[in-house]
Structure 1
Amino acid sequence: MDKAAFFASLRSRTSGVFGTSLSAAQVQGIEAILDESERRGTPLKHLAYILATVYHETGAKMQPVEENLRYSAKRLTEVWPDRFQTLASAKPFANNPQALANEVYGGRLGNKLPNDGWEFRGRGLPQITGRENYGKFDIAGNPDEALKIGVAIRITFDGMTKGLFTGKKLSDFSSYGPMRAIINADGKTNGAKIAKQAQAFEVALVAGGYAGTVPDRAPPAPVAETAAPKGRTDAITVRIVQETLRAKGYSEVGSPDGKLGKLTRTAILAAKNENDIQPINDVIDDAFLIALPDILGRNLPRENATPTEVRSSVPEVQSNWRIKIGAMIAGLASAAGAIFDGIASQLGTARGHLSDFSEYVGDVPGWAKFGVLVAIAAGAYYIAQRGERKGVQAFQEGSRR
């Protein structure tokens, strides 16, 4: 394809798109689309409409965009008149993108968790919205992937050629006018305008000699596939997971703080194991988030739980128990030292061996020093034992996680 002739046609004053110049970002986006179309052997008219759709959906930027959810209260009543019937009802969401996204998208489009509306807001060339739609393109675990040019182009081609956006696909139509149904139901408003833009792109493609068939030469490298999801780590999602697990009896999760630490990962792994949620790991992945509301709560016999049983599931109680045991061992050793020093002080021979040491540490008798260590160990034992007892009691009463 003669790209110089193609771009020259687009820059023509009579082309109807772009004006007489294109930015570097626009050229880069267009070239990436052309490369993908040559790799796939996309028919000319289909490619023309794909380019026109991207031109319309991105405001001619030809780069992935993110949905703008910053509206005034008045504008909200115009965009969503059924949902915001008065300025007063719209005011809490005015210039508040996250709250607005969760309000208008929550509970639909496959969104289940409280923050899903925001997490799965519109992104892309044609924008995809909602957990369900992100899942169609295997990026629900990392929705920001839709803002990467390679991924966004893959989504665009797959969505328009396979009918993944609305169920309609390019091969269903022979003319540009009704093709808008592939993306949106606003054909009456935007169908004719986008059809005219598609004609401009078709003229440019013909000028560049676009063949629309798979080339004999080795095709360009395919658009990079999305890396394996690493799971969600944002504070809002982590806190929701923590609170849900805590309510279902996974006490090892610790106190909800929005941080994906060792305790939380331990609880996630336990929940996946006990509910057979694949893959079984300690990652907050899409499968886990979908299953989370429906996992079975633990049937814990809290009232009759023994300290040993509580220690096995409550890390703080286990830690206090270990400190208690350590303090007891240290206290017994120190007591033995005090007794030995007291006996040794009465034995001339033994006392002679200890004299140099005694002069070095001062006039305080050795048994007294050991006595101080015994007192410290006893104090640590008491505090740890009290902490352990309180932890067990709180667990039995249900007031602790």
Structure 2
Amino acid sequence: MDRAKFFAAVRSSLFGGALTQNQVNGITAILDAWRASDMTDLRWLAYMLGTAFHETAQTMQPVRETRAASDKQAIAILDRSWAKGEMPWVKSAYWRIGSDGKSWLGRGYVQLTHKGNYIKLGGAIGVDLVTNPSLAMREDVALKVMFVGMGEGLFTGAKLGHFFVGAKADWLNARRIINGKERAADVAGYGKAFHAALMGAA
């Protein structure tokens, strides 16, 4: 891949003409993880990049839910949104500190949430995310969570291979891998833009 050509394309199509060094670093980390993986379908890579673009609010860095600087701040923000009825898709306040003294709020490139998912993904990648859920913010861990979670369907049961295989490319419904239909059209658009850049730089 001609990475200079790829970055020039996404700089224009997705990032408003300018990329920060942190954005470049984050995208590079994802590209490097892809190269080291056994995945081969560029649509998978494009959809992961599009998902990270959305889930990290375009920072392309592992972030805490709400992009707060601390868990305490994130919990307060989420509590306010919950009280105002701004999160109708959320069934329970998973971010609140439980009897174990931990918050299972979203962290990473794909916003890993709920204790059960921390247990499941931690086991799958060989990292103890239960003792220290904040490890999901570490770049190498966040990459593994995204690649394994989306590749094997560990978030919702839906996986990349269900939507991108052979001639099939269901960019819209691929959002089910992470979060049902929430912002599905937006994420589909991001994925397609990354795919166009990848193909143009191949």
Q: TM-score range by the shorter chain?
A: 0.7 to 0.9
Q: Does structure 1 residue 203 correspond to structure 2 residue 196?
A: yes
Partner of 2:138: 148
Q: Does structure 1 residue 165 correspond to structure 2 residue 162?
A: no
In 1: Cα distance, 2:4 partner to 2:46 partner: 17
Q: Deviations over 1:352-393 (max 9, x none)?
A: xxxxxxxxxxxxxxxxxxxxxxxxxxxxxxxxxxxxxxxxxx
Cα distance change, pair 81–40 in 1 and its aligned pair in 2 (3 A): closer
TM-score, length basis structure 2: 0.81
TM-superposed CA distance for 1:114, in Å, is 1.5
Q: Secondary structure at the match of 1:51?
A: helix
The correspondence for 1:40, drawn from 22, 37, 42, is: 37
Cα distance change, pair 171–26 in 1 and its aligned pair in 2 (3 A): same
5+ residue gaps in structure 1? Answer: 84-102, 210-401
In 1: Cα distance, 2:22 partner to 2:95 partner: 34
Higher relative contact order, chain-length normalized (CA < 8 Å, sep 6+)? 2
TM-superposed CA distance for 1:144, in Å, is 1.0
Contact 1:134 1:140 in 2 (8 A): yes
Partner of 2:6: 6
TM-score, length basis structure 1: 0.42
Q: What amino acid maps onto 1:70 in structure 2?
A: A
The correspondence for 1:192, drawn from 168, 185, 189, is: 185
Q: What amino acid maps onto 1:135 in structure 2?
A: I
TM-superposed CA distance for 1:73, in Å, is 4.7
The 5 A counterparts of 1:105-184 are 105=94, 113-116=98-101, 118-138=102-122, 139-173=129-163, 174-184=169-179
Partner of 2:21: 24
Q: What amino acid maps onto 1:198 in structure 2?
A: G
In 2: Cα distance, 1:106 partner to 1:6 partner: 37
Contact 1:106 1:114 in 2 (8 A): no
Partner of 1:396: none
- State the identity as a percent: 39
Q: What amino acid maps onto 1:126 in structure 2?
A: V
Cα distance change, pair 26–142 in 1 and its aligned pair in 2 (3 A): same
TM-superposed CA distance for 1:115, in Å, is 4.4
TM-superposed CA distance for 1:74, in Å, is 7.1
Cα distance change, pair 163–73 in 1 and its aligned pair in 2 (3 A): closer
Q: What amino acid maps onto 2:155 in structure 1?
A: F
Q: Secondary structure at the match of 1:128?
A: coil
In 2: Cα distance, 1:21 partner to 1:106 partner: 34
Number of residue equivalences: 180
In 2: Cα distance, 1:147 partner to 1:181 partner: 23
In 1: Cα distance, 2:82 partner to 2:134 partner: 27
TM-superposed CA distance for 1:81, in Å, is 6.3
Contact 1:49 1:198 in 2 (8 A): yes
In 2: Cα distance, 1:74 partner to 1:196 partner: 27
TM-superposed CA distance for 1:105, in Å, is 2.2
Q: Deviations over 1:180-236 (max 9, x none)?
A: 000001x1x411111111111011111221xxxxxxxxxxxxxxxxxxxxxxxxxxx
Contact 2:50 2:191 in 1 (8 A): yes
In 1: Cα distance, 2:89 partner to 2:170 partner: 34
Cα distance change, pair 115–20 in 1 and its aligned pair in 2 (3 A): same
The correspondence for 2:59, drawn from 54, 58, 61, is: 61
Contact 1:6 1:208 in 2 (8 A): yes
TM-superposed CA distance for 1:137, in Å, is 2.4
Q: Deviations over 1:72-99 (max 9, x none)?
A: 757622225699xxxxxxxxxxxxxxxx
Contact 1:49 1:195 in 2 (8 A): yes
Cα distance change, pair 205–73 in 1 and its aligned pair in 2 (3 A): closer
Partner of 2:86: 79
TM-superposed CA distance for 1:70, in Å, is 2.9
Cα distance change, pair 73–130 in 1 and its aligned pair in 2 (3 A): closer
Q: Secondary structure at the match of 2:19?
A: coil
| Higher relative helix content | 1
The 5 A counterparts of 1:317-328 are none
In 2: Cα distance, 1:60 partner to 1:73 partner: 23
TM-superposed CA distance for 1:5, in Å, is 0.6
